[in-house]
Structure 1
């Protein structure tokens, strides 16, 4: 694979993770916030900087891990590895020789006494990229399915 192929594949995975977070936030907004009386109408997308909004699952500061935990309490679980993947992509480093076809995703801990631990280290093979794209897409489909079931009379029906 060329470096451009890696960049495009990683970009798709990041976009899926961002989409997944927004879908989970929307699901929790429509369920938990509605049950707790905190359900607000969505704010306008052109809301001015400095405007205060009510805190709910669309606007709060919950991490992806916390959101997935809340989602998993009432649904078939989403793989928590996605949190590690998101954190590694957001805070890690993709390392390798520019002309190489081998890259690695590494993440390090916060320093303690001037030392760090390696907390994530995976080779970004074509198979790895495809499997992570599939993993994120599968999670998105599951949340979309559960969200659409909220709007159907009778709840969720599982096709076998």
Structure 2
């Protein structure tokens, strides 16, 4: 029997689920048992080695997949952080670049001088504008006959 029947003295003990072999004569049984145990151990070792190889293969596949996903994620993140593309200008020899820089500096100095001169003349211009406005107001207040040609048509 596979599970064996419960003996009267073992009524409360849990059943043993291991298979029991039928008793074999003592001398032949020990040799057969040794061979069968060796074969069973060999089979068990082979099964464990196959399971280990399968597990190793699955771990390697997982690591390769994780490495690929990590590389893709890093590339995506770096692409997102990359500043916008700059326009590339054609390279010019350094001597002409220095000459162009000097020309730009001279133009900038001239512009700066003109702006400063205009700012310095601004109070004079404001005075002349005020004088012109006052003259116009005086002319409006005078009761002088202005020739119709010089009058502006109002809309």
Structure 1 or 2: more strand by fraction: 1
How does the TM-score come out when normalised to structure 2?
0.20
More relative contact order in 1 or in 2 (CA 8 Å, sep 6+)?
Answer: 1
Q: Which has the larger radius of gyration?
A: 2
Structure 1 or 2: more helix by fraction: 2
